[in-house]
Amino acid sequence: MNKILTAFVLLFLSGLALAESFVIKDIRVDGLQRISAGTVFNFLPVKVGDEMSAKDAKSIIRALFKSKYFNDVEVEQQNGVLIIKVTERPAVSSIELVGNKDMDTQELLKSLRQIGFAEGQVYEKAVLERVELELQRQYFSRGKYGVTIESEVTPLSRNRVAIRITMAEGVAATIGSINIVGNTHFDEDELREDFTSSTGGILSAFTHDNQYSRQKLSADLETLRSFYLDRGFVDFVVESTQVSITDDKKQMFITINISEGERYQVKEVRLAGNLIVPEEELFGLVTIRKDAVFSRKSVTQSSELLTDRLGNDGYAFANVNAVPEIDRENKLVTLTFFVDPGRRAYVRRITISGNSKTRDEVLRREMRQQESAWISTNKVEQSRARIRRLGYFEDVNVETIPVPGTADQVDLDFNVVEQASGSLSAGIGFSQSDGLIFNANITQKNFLGSGKHINFGFNNSSANTVYSFGYTNPFATVDGISQGFNAYYRETDANEANIANYSTDVWGGDISFGIPISENNRIRLAFGYENTEVTLGSDPITSFSEFVAEEGDQYDTWTLSLSWSSDSRDSAVLPTRGMSQSVSAEVAVPGGSLQYYKVRYKNNWYHPMTESLTLALHGNLGYGDGYGDTEGLPFFQNFYAGGIRSVRGFKSNTLGVQEDDQSLGGNLLVTGGAEVIFPIPFLKKQLRSVRLSAFTDFGNVYADGQDFEADLLRYSVGLSAIWISPFGAMSFSYAQPFNEQADDEEESFQFSLGSTF
């Protein structure tokens, strides 16, 4: 009020001082400290040479006050010189926030800057008061109704002020009770089951679910609406919500008054509009049916499926609206899905950006959406997914840009964020099956940006010493046929891996070709050579000694391998949906020292049960045998089971037939299991590199001549954790067998650090 009165007086006095008009010969501004004269001139409605009157003086004062730079403005004239006397408002020299434990200081200062409150800005008391109210509102939204906020403004030299804002946050109000009034079809416990707010429990000290928040309550009310609308209660409404607080502002009591209405059924489902796709096909995508209970979730899902189907035929801007006709007398709903496909859009140009290292052709050969063809949302997403699976990019984004001046053309912009595709690593790890592991690897998945893979590796553990080199060209032909080769040398001490007392020295290599037969299916053909030398230890297994006596201790083997694989997982590392499976057959062909074959089937299936829970099933079957002059599968090619990568809870490689406390392995392998993957408890933001699960495993191996018997399968249950750390994959499990036999070797806690899995 005082400021308004002062401005009015100044306007009046200025009018008296400039009772007569005059021509402005010059303009002088007195009193400036920080603000330049040029800034003042920019606000003035007059200039040198203008005729000045009392009315103009009032306009000058209004304009300068409106700039908010000045506390006081006076206008005078002396001999044709316009004199403007100003008193600047102080500038904010520093802002200090004290006591804000619940909110980050830098984030607060950033948000305050957006409303004009920051260091270097002009100080306004009204803005500071608005800041206090905003801070109070922020704390109220977090349930801290006992917060007190005090501001202290300290004048400094050179017309500056220092501002200190002290916050006594208090404690968040907890929820004393949540009452729902008006429910007759469902009890309160069922209605509150998916609420984020609760009255608390044993874990509330970590989850804070019993702390009141206005945002959480709003989300819970929407959850309540969705609950009823998904169960046919079309007329459901939240009539009122009362929130009361105790005098000490530490406890809240919530009452939600609802009107359920009656349950409605679907009388009829119709399709209307421009049905570009055959009506029968579109009806097959509608998930809500006649005579079913009305469900808003099913209606929304049906609209999305219809829109996606039209998008696959080029109608990228299709619109499907579900319009209900409600018969309240008979409690029926007639649903009509109005289809507006719009115009079919064609892709004029596909541009790629962000790939500073990777060649354009490496990305374009993964494209399933082509230029000059109509746009397909499915093909665009397939293209994006295939580029992500390359492993060269941290992120891949696609933007659909309408072409100016046309109604039926779009451009696609694929923007990628490259990540390091090569690595030079050396490390030390430990696993219970392999002992202490030393390893070194040079890997380049995208050699010179060409998409070709090369790798050289060294691995040394108590059980294995491995040297390897490999090269793969995933697009040796334009059709996507891959070509590669591998060379390796491997020393194995089987006794260190809980197997019988023998060792092998193996060197060899192979060449391979991969042939894509569909989007997710591939065939691989490989031809290899392997030289194996076997050394039996002291007191060897009788059957092993007999094999060496008959076949010798050194073997030249030529192998032919054929495999089929299919992969529809959403990620190659820690997937959450999709399936990968493979069938492989390896034959040691005549002409070598040994003739045998091995066939194997692997399957991993992932299915999200809820937003946070995923069901995973896995199975592994293997069978091998000799043929021709070779009697049975060579013992050093046997299958083994048990351990962290097989049947957890049993010592690695120890399941199956044993002789003299030595594992023989077998020519028939059966393992599998199920897992429920769940998020890390108490964390608001989940880590993508960590996976927890509760699992059950089963399996065993059967020796040559031993038939499969389900009664011989071993079972275990437990908990597992995997962390993809900067040092490699780390796996931990705690399992308890529940049908172990006397000669089984148990191992409840198992882990593997710094090795792949």
Task: Summarize pLDDT for 383-420 with one digit per residue, the tens.
Answer: 888 887 777 777 788 988 888 888 888 899 998 887 66
Q: Quick one: pLDDT at residue 18?
A: 54
Q: CA 741, CA 67: separation in Å to the nearest integer? A: 88
Residues 6+ apart with CB under 8 A from 312: 376, 377, 378, 379
Of the two residues 366 and 256, the one the predictor is more confident about is 256
Among 291, 128, 298, 164, which Cα is nearest to 229's? 298
At which residue do the structure tokens 């800034």 appear? 39
Quick check: 61 pLDDT over 60?
yes
Q: Residue 39: what are its φ and ψ, rounded to 5°?
A: -65, -40
Among 282, 272, 291, which Cα is nearest to 312's? 282
Q: Quick one: pLDDT at residue 14?
A: 47
Whether the Cβ atoms of residue 371 and residue 379 lie closer than 8 Å to each other: no
Q: Band of the pLDDT at 105, cuts 50, 70, 90?
A: confident
Domain(s) labelled CATH 2.40.160.50 in the chain stretch across 422-753
Task: Indicate the fold that domain 346-418 takes in CATH.
Answer: Ubiquitin-like (UB roll) (3.10.20)
Q: CA 597, CA 587: separation in Å to the nearest integer? A: 4
Quick check: 599 pLDDT over 90?
yes
Quick check: 427 pLDDT over 70?
no
Instruction: Please give the share of the chain, as a percent, with pLDDT higher than 70.
Output: 90
Whether the Cβ atoms of residue 664 and residue 500 lie closer than 8 Å to each other: yes
460-556-582-615 Cα dihedral, nearest 10 degrees: -30
Tell me what the mean pLDDT of segment 307-324 comes to. 89
What is the per-residue pLDDT across 661-680, written as a single tens digit (0 to 9) for each? 778 889 999 999 999 999 88
- Do the bridges between strand 746-747 and strand 749-753 make them parallel or antiparallel, or are there none, so unpaired? unpaired
CATH number of 91-168: 3.10.20.310
Among 126, 129, 154, 156, which Cα is nearest to 33's? 156
Of the two residues 482 and 537, the one the predictor is more confident about is 482
Q: Quick one: pLDDT at residue 58?
A: 84
For 703, the token pair is 């020796």
Which CA distances in Å does 27 have to 38, 40, 62, 73? 11, 11, 17, 14
Quick check: 235 pLDDT over 50?
yes
Q: CA 250, CA 130: separation in Å to the nearest integer? A: 26
Q: Quick one: pLDDT at residue 442?
A: 64
| H-assigned helices in 418-462 | none
Which CA distances in Å does 622 have to 585, 590, 602, 642, 704? 10, 22, 9, 15, 13
Q: So what CATH class is 174-259? A: alpha beta
Of the two residues 539 and 419, the one the predictor is more confident about is 539
Q: Quick one: pLDDT at residue 448?
A: 76
Exposed / middle / buried, residue 87 (Cβ in 10 Å: 0-12, 13-18, 19+): middle
Tell me what the mean pLDDT of segment 495-513 comes to. 86
Q: Quick one: pLDDT at residue 647?
A: 92
Residues 6+ apart with CB under 8 A from 272: 336, 337, 338, 339
Question: Does the domain formed by 265-340 have CATH 3.40.190.10?
Answer: no
Give the least confident one: 120-124, 288-292, 572-576: 572-576
Q: Band of the pLDDT at 363, cuts 50, 70, 90?
A: confident
Q: Band of the pLDDT at 685, cuts 50, 70, 90?
A: low
Quick check: 358 pLDDT over 90?
no
Among 603, 620, 756, 612, which Cα is nearest to 693's? 612
Q: Band of the pLDDT at 753, cuts 50, 70, 90?
A: low
Quick check: 493 pLDDT over 50?
yes
Quick check: 443 pLDDT over 70?
no
Positive or negative torsion for Cα 734, 738, 739, 741: positive
Q: Quick one: pLDDT at residue 683?
A: 64
Residues 6+ apart with CB under 8 A from 420: none
For 570-602, b/e burial (b = at least 16 CB within 10 A) is eeeebbeebbbbbebebbbeeebbbbbbbbbeb
Give the least confident one: 123-132, 316-325, 359-368, 746-755: 746-755
Question: Does the domain formed by 2-88 have CATH 3.40.50.1100?
Answer: no
- Do the bridges between strand 265-273 and strand 332-340 make them parallel or antiparallel, or are there none, so unpaired? parallel
Q: Which amino acid is at 130?
A: R
Strands (E), 195-263: 237-245, 251-259
Give the least confident one: 444-448, 579-583, 612-616, 721-725: 444-448
DSSP 435: E
Task: Indicate the fold that domain 422-753 takes in CATH.
Answer: Porin (2.40.160)
Coil vs helix vs strand at 264:
coil
Quick check: 149 pLDDT over 80?
yes
Quick check: 4 pLDDT over 60?
no
Domain(s) labelled CATH 3.10.20.310 in the chain stretch across 2-88, 91-168, 174-259, 265-340, 346-418
